[in-house]
Structure formats: C-alpha cells, structure tokens
Structure 1
Amino acid sequence: MGLSYILNNLFFLIFTFMAMLTFLVFVSSRKHLLLTLLSLEFLVLVVFVALSFTLFYFYNEMYFMLIYLTLTVCEGAVGLAILVSLIRCKGNDNIQSLSFLLW
C-alpha cells in the first residue's frame, strides 16, 4: 500500500461525494431554472475531472477530453439560450410557472 494507492482511493471518494451531492442538488432544485443549470454544469465539471484523471492516468489520452469539453460548451449555450428566452417570455425563471406542453 503505497502513497499513490491511498491518493487514488481518496480521489475516488472525494469525487464520488461531490457527484452525489451535486446530483442531490440537481434533483431537489425544481423551482428555478438557473439553479438547476448551475448544478448540472457542476455535475458535468465533476465528471470531466474524473474522466480526465482516468483517461490521462491510464491511457494518456487527451483528445476525448477536448470532445467532451466541446459538447459541454454546446450544452451550456443551449441551457443559457433556454434561460434567456424563458426570462424574456415569462419575466422569471420559475419552472412551476411553465407548461411545457403549451410553450
């Protein structure tokens, strides 16, 4: 049991805890769209750090991380566009004031 084994286990536990906490915030925040988007972006960031550590540590691969970041930026832009259009139409970002079938 070397130091690298302990650090790998600690890394795994910390990022598992962060992912679970972020997922809990994502599931429980149903009132405001901005809070939901922020928790989703933090969850994507946690997945990116875990993925980059795994891919770089085991496979020395960096190209997939660039593709993942590109798709993450596109997802963030779509989320912000939906948020801006929601605020322009309704005046707030409350999710309860929406009817997604009529919007």
Structure 2
Amino acid sequence: MLIYGFLFFIFMYFIGLLVICLKSSHLLLMLLSLEFIVLSLFFGLTIFILMFMYESYFLMIFLSLSVCEGALGLSILVSMVRMYGNDYFNSFNVLW
C-alpha cells in the first residue's frame, strides 16, 4: 500500500515540475504549482515517516516553513500587481 503512495507522490511531484516549466511566465500559476510541489513533498515525507516509524514532529516544522514560503510568494505577487498592474513576467524588464 505504501509503495502505491510513493508512486503517487512521484507522479504528483513531476506534474508540479511540468506545470512550472510550462507556465513560467505567469507568477500566480507558478506559485500554485510550487504549493502543489510542497504538498506532494509533504505527502512523500508522511509516507516516508510512516514507513520507517520515525517521529512525526518534523511534519509540523515542514508545514510551518511551507506556510511561510506561501505567504512570502503572495506578498511578492501583491507587490508586483501593485507596481506593474499584472503578474506576467513579460510585462516588465527584470534586468532594467
């Protein structure tokens, strides 16, 4: 049963990477796919901890760090929308 969960974790992770590669010009879709990757990593970490019967306290640390990452991404998104009017990377020049 845990093997199927591990394969599902790998499938979720690579789907998230595929979406990041395909939608690299839209910041909101990149943030959503990054959160999907973090969710798949949490799923894989949970399977790993259940398989080897380790302490599950690290899952709470991982979730708190992923919430901080999501809040930082949303704050960057809000500042870009306020400054440039949208969240497309091709609407402004980063190297300017």
Mapped contact 2:6–2:47 kept (Cα < 8 A): no
Matched, 1:53 2:61: no
Gaps in structure 2 of 5+ consecutive residues: none
Residue 94 of structure 1 is aligned with which of 70, 82, 88?
88
Structure 2 residue aligned with 1:70: 64
Partner in structure 2 of residue 19 of structure 1: 13
| CA–CA separation in structure 2 for the residues paired with 1:101 and 1:68 | 33
Structure 1: segments with no counterpart, 5+ residues:
1-6
The whole-number CA distance in structure 2 between the counterparts of 1:48 and 1:87 is 30
- The Cα offsets for residues 31-53 of structure 1, whole Å up to 9 and x where unpaired, read as 21000000000000000011012
**TM-score where L is the length of structure 2:** 0.91
Q: Are 1:84 and 2:75 counterparts?
A: no
Identity of aligned residues (%): 47
Secondary structure in structure 1 of the residue aligned to 2:82: helix
| Aligned residue-pair number | 96
1:57 Cα deviation (Å)?
Answer: 3.1
Runs of 4+ in 1 over 6 A off after TM superposition: none
Larger radius of gyration: 1
Separation in 1 of the partners of 2:60 and 2:6? 22
